[in-house]
Amino acid sequence: MTTVFEEEAPARVQASCSLDDYLDMPDHSMDDRIAAARAALGKQAVILGHHYQRDEIIRFADHTGDSYKLSKIAAEAAGRYIVFCGVHFMAESADILAQPNQQVILPDMNAGCSMADMADISQVEACWDSLTAAGLMKEDAGGLIPLTYMNSTAAIKAFCGERGGLVCTSSNAAAAFRWAFARGQKILFLPDQHLGRNTAHAMGIPPQEMVVWDPYQINGGLMPERLRAARVILWKGHCSVHQRFLPEHVDRVRAKYPGIQVIVHPECRLEVCQKADEIGSTERLIKIIEQAPTGTMFAVGTEIHLVHRLGQRFASLGKRVITLDDSGCLCTTMFRISPQHLAWVLENLVEGNVVNRIRVSEDVKHWARVALDRMLEIRGV
Ligand code: 13P
Ligand code: SF4
């Protein structure tokens, strides 16, 4: 398997303090240090913060956004260092889109994504081989286009680019489906079954034309005739944060707050999305609340840090924002990016040390860039 990222060689990662020294200190003691390091770096560095990051990080971000918005900002960023406060696949995408003189840094290398981890490149290659054996790639069988959600490894993005496919985000999945159906009759959608199912459902594709490929079963657990009838082959992956929202949460919140607007992310289950008033990417959910009249109350089905922040931001404007499920859905890997990690990477940069650099290998980068460029060229946001 190709190695898709490397950390800087140990000799270059020596800081005057070790990461452990930072981790021993309280969160709030980092603020002045982060601000000072940020100021010292000036235009050399740009800090990107995904909407699911904690407040202690978001307050230092030069730009905030969802995956799509941040990938566009990363592609256009001028700084020499792109400090990505998000998860691993996002930093990989930034490295793929960055200029050759730019370096992308992920403050904590353990900030992965459980959904992205559900599709390993070797499993996807094995799936593709099985689909080839089933004759689904032949012209007269309709042709198969691989399409991957942004929340996947660089190796999988490259896999899609090399085979005539592309990347999408939750902002442009419908446009990506239209792009793919203009070129083939079937889509292999990786790795989030819910985003794939919700998108296909909204396009009028019936359930009998969708199948779920289970990488842990022979032939994905599917009979050849089911595969032949399918227009969309969904990978059996999900987001552990959004999958926790259930249809009964929608019923409960509506019973408690009559008139409440339920808005959810398309990584939620189809049954939840169907009950919701609106479905939207993270950026779209924010816009819906921004554009609503004073007095509107929302229950939002997405990551809890964003929901809390929206609650605070809109309270003074007379709009109430609560979570769809009181038990709260925290993305534990996003949460790994702490003020201590941010201070550590920034102070190292001030000293000339690049720590936690994300570097996608050149062969993977080429085809992943093809897949990402196809995404950036399609309309639909
Ligand atoms: P977006 O950023 O595309 O809304 O996706 C949500 C998510 O789960 C990011 O990890
Ligand atoms: Fe991955 Fe879900 Fe966390 Fe996004 S919210 S990083 S998809 S686990």
| Per-residue pLDDT at 5 exceeds 50 | no
Residue 13 pLDDT: 36
Of 354, 304, 271, 372, the C-alpha closest to 103 is 354
Strand partners, 213: 235
Q: What one-letter code names the amino acid at 52?
A: Y
Single pTM value for the model = 0.91
What is the C-alpha separation between 235 and 128, in angstroms, rounded? 12
User: Ligand 2 centre from 239 Cα, in Å?
Assistant: 6
Give the confidence band of 1 by pLDDT, cuts at 50, 70, 90: very low
User: Which two tokens mark 151?
Assistant: 């929340």
User: Ligand 2 centre from 223 Cα, in Å?
Assistant: 31
What is the C-alpha separation between 335 and 326, in angstroms, rounded? 19
User: Ligand 1 centre from 17 Cα, in Å?
Assistant: 33
Residue 279: nearest ligand to its CA? Answer: 1
| 243 within ligand 1 shell (Cβ under 6 A) | no
| Per-residue pLDDT at 266 exceeds 50 | yes
Of 244, 152, 238, 241, the C-alpha closest to 195 is 238
Q: What one-letter code names the amino acid at 224?
A: P
Q: Which residues lie with the beta carbon below 6 Å from any ligand 2 atom?
A: 52, 87, 113-115, 151, 239-241, 303, 331, 333-334
Percent of the chain with pLDDT over 70: 93
What is the C-alpha separation between 329 and 52, in angstroms, rounded? 11
Percent of the chain with pLDDT over 90: 81
Residue 112: nearest ligand to its CA? Answer: 2
Of 66, 90, 100, 69, the C-alpha closest to 358 is 90
Query: Longest Cα pair distance anywhere in the chain, in angstroms?
Result: 64
Q: What is the overall mean pLDDT for the chain?
A: 91
At 166, is the secondary structure helix, strand, or coil? strand
Residue 27 pLDDT: 87
For atom 1 of ligand 2, the residue with the nearest CA is 113
User: Ligand 1 centre from 276 Cα, in Å?
Assistant: 18
Distances (CA, A) of 111 to 85, 98, 102: 9, 20, 21
Is residue 291 within 8 A of residue 277, CB to CB? The reply is no
Is residue 85 within 8 A of residue 61, CB to CB? The reply is yes
Q: What is the DSSP letter of 9?
A: P
Q: What is the DSSP letter of 85?
A: E
Residue 211 pLDDT: 98
Residue 237 pLDDT: 98
Pocket test for ligand 1, best of 170, 264, 334 (most atoms within 8 A of CB): 170
What is the C-alpha separation between 366 and 381, in angstroms, rounded? 25
Residues 303-323 pLDDT 10s: 999 999 999 999 999 999 999
| 66 within ligand 1 shell (Cβ under 6 A) | yes
| 56-61 long-range Cβ contacts below 8 angstroms, 24+ apart | 56/27, 56/30, 56/31, 56/338, 56/339, 57/85, 57/337, 57/338, 57/339, 57/342, 58/309, 60/34, 60/35, 60/342, 61/85
Across 85-94, average pLDDT: 95
Across 13-26, average pLDDT: 76
Identify each DSSP E strand in the chain by its residue range. Answer: 45-50, 63-65, 81-85, 103-105, 144-149, 166-168, 186-190, 210-213, 232-235, 261-264, 278-279, 297-301, 320-323, 357-358
Nearest atom in ligand 1 to the alpha carbon of residue 171 is: 3
Residues 216-249 pLDDT 10s: 999 999 998 899 899 999 999 999 999 999 999 9
| Per-residue pLDDT at 94 exceeds 70 | yes
For atom 9 of ligand 1, the residue with the nearest CA is 67
Give the confidence band of 11 by pLDDT, cuts at 50, 70, 90: very low
Q: What one-letter code names the amino acid at 293?
A: P
What is the C-alpha separation between 267 and 214, in angstroms, rounded? 18
| Per-residue pLDDT at 8 exceeds 60 | no
Nearest atom in ligand 1 to the alpha carbon of residue 239 is: 8
Pocket test for ligand 1, best of 52, 152, 284 (most atoms within 8 A of CB): 52
| Per-residue pLDDT at 331 exceeds 80 | yes
Residue 114: nearest ligand to its CA? Answer: 2
| 198 within ligand 1 shell (Cβ under 6 A) | no
| 348 within ligand 1 shell (Cβ under 6 A) | no
Residue 111: nearest ligand to its CA? Answer: 2
Of 239, 254, 255, the C-alpha closest to 331 is 239
Residues 167-224 pLDDT 10s: 999 989 999 999 999 999 999 999 999 999 999 999 999 999 999 999 999 999 999 8
| Per-residue pLDDT at 72 exceeds 90 | no
Residue 232 pLDDT: 98
Pocket test for ligand 1, best of 169, 300, 307, 372 (most atoms within 8 A of CB): 169
Nearest atom in ligand 2 to the alpha carbon of residue 241 is: 2
User: Ligand 1 centre from 140 Cα, in Å?
Assistant: 36
Count CB-CB contacts under 10 A for residue 99.
11
- Burial of residue 42 (CB within 10 Å: 0-12, 13-18, 19+) is exposed
Pocket test for ligand 2, best of 285, 331, 336, 337 (most atoms within 8 A of CB): 331
Q: Do the bridges between strand 210-213 and strand 232-235 make them parallel or antiparallel, or are there none, so unpaired?
A: parallel
Residue 142 pLDDT: 64
